[in-house]
A = this chain, B = another copy of it.
Amino acid sequence: MIKAAVMPAPGRAVEIREFPEPELEPGSALFKTIYSEVCGTDIHVQDGKLSLTPYPLIPGHANVGILEAIEGDLKDVEGNPLGAGQVVTFFDVHKTCNNCWYCLVAKAPTRCPNRKVYGITYGAEEGLLGGWSEVVYLKPGVRVLRLPEGVEPLTFIAGGCALPTAFHAMERGDMRLGDTVAVQGAGPVGLMCLAFAQMAGASKTIILGNGAPRLKAARDFGADVVIDIDGLSPKDRVEAVLGATGGRGADLTVEATGAPQAIIEGMEMTRDAGRYVVVGQYTDLGDVLINPHRLINRKHLEVRGCWGIEFGHLYKSVQLLPRLAARFPLAQMVTRTYSLTEANEALADVRAQRVVKAAIAPNGPVEIG
């Protein structure tokens, strides 16, 4: 029997349940979890804030582990065969159909209505389809990729889902060599945006956040300017960014807070004709009052919502992991790892922002061949 942590219903604590070992269909595989991320989204799932989440469910959408049994041939995106014993991650987004108007005509696959996500939109009754489990069942069609040589599992999970999400945000923001970049929020997504902004050649990076561990991480990640929002009014925060950008505002600002009010500040701290990427508003926390004349029209601003990720974002960000790890103290982001039975503690720590990043190790330490 396989143990997994299950969220039984909104507002409830996680329970450990046992499941039979899945039978393999052709094209499927078993994945022995080394680490599964505990993400802010998991808090939203526990709070019942996401519309498409079935309960009970096994959380865990960003995962790294070892391929166990494979039924049939499994290949990575470059056509290389995958084999048992390899350290891999998999793309949690599944069943993007490549068949609908959004996939084929709009080329906006993150808006495909058939899209399913491991650990978020699959329920426990459908199988071991989340990473807070000793074993994950990789359905046929799940995209698997190996970690690049030299990349530790802990390094990958330190990036977690923030890694491809931040990559997507930079792409969406048309990040260019020499841009000044402001990042609102110093949680996992904000910190990864900070790292990628530097990787992509920002001439200056500014991050706004709060909480000692996150602010320390922001400094350790090499931000040119770290702004503790707790000491400052919204106006002061905006002025701090203007002051750091010659009075103009950032070329590119990325919102990674989730707070609706941050939108106003973000627009104000972006330069005229600049770009503002909204990636943090993953759940509905209410409305915000904006002035469309002053903040959009007269500023000639571009505001770009950024939803979900595509496989390419995961692939490319994983390819960059060796360089990221060489330049930023990525693994340090994981303040603590937890056993399956400590999942509730992990959720509580993430909820209270006592940790920068939390990871669950359902099998304890795993030996890598």
List residues of A whose CB falls within 8 A of some B CB: 77-79, 98-102, 104-108, 110-111, 143, 167, 170-171, 175-178, 196, 199-201, 203, 246, 248, 251, 260, 263, 271-274, 278-308, 310-312, 315-317, 319-320, 323
Q: Which of B111, B286, B323 contacts A203 (CB 8 A)?
A: B323
- Whether B292 pairs with A288 at a CB distance below 8 angstroms is yes
- The interface residues of chain B lying within 8 Å CB-to-CB of A301 are 303-305
Contacts of A312 in B (CB 8 A): 104-105, 107
- Specify which of B100, B274, B286, B292 is in contact with A291 (CB 8 Å cutoff): B286
State whether A99 and B111 are in contact (beta carbons under 8 Å apart), knowing that A263-B292, A297-B307 are contacts in the complex: no
User: CA–CA, A171 to B111, complex, Å?
Assistant: 22
Chain B residues in 8 Å Cβ range of A297 = 278-282, 305-307
Given contacts A105-B315, A297-B306, contact A78 B246 (CB under 8 A): yes
Contact of A101 among B77, B280, B302, B306 (CB under 8 A): B77
Given contacts A108-B272, A282-B297, contact A177 B316 (CB under 8 A): yes
> Which residue from chain B places its CB closest to the CB of A315 in the assembled complex?
B105
Contact A305 B299 (CB under 8 A): yes
Give the residue name and chain of the B residue nearest to A148 (CB): B203
B289:A289 contact, CB within 8 angstroms: yes
Question: Could you pull out 23 A-B pairs where Cβ atoms are within 8 angstroms?
Answer: A79-B100, A79-B101, A98-B98, A99-B143, A104-B311, A104-B312, A105-B311, A106-B251, A106-B271, A111-B300, A171-B176, A196-B201, A201-B201, A203-B319, A281-B293, A282-B297, A283-B293, A287-B292, A288-B290, A290-B290, A297-B305, A297-B307, A298-B305
Nearest chain B residue, comparing its CB with the CB of A247: B78
The CA-CA distance from A330 to B106 in the complex, in Å, is 27
Q: Please determine whether B203 and A201 come into contact, CB atoms closer than 8 angstroms.
A: no
Q: How far is the CA of A305 from the CA of B273 in the complex (A)?
A: 8
Which residues of the partner chain B approach A251 to less than 8 Å between Cβ atoms? 106
Q: Which residues of B contact A272 (CB under 8 A)?
A: 102, 106, 108, 111
Question: Which listed residue, B248, B294, B302, touches A304 by the CB 8 Å rule?
Answer: B302
CA distance A31 to B263 in the complex (A): 47
State whether A177 touches B203 (Cβ < 8 A): no
Q: CB within 8 A of A294: which of B171, B176, B284, B298?
A: B284
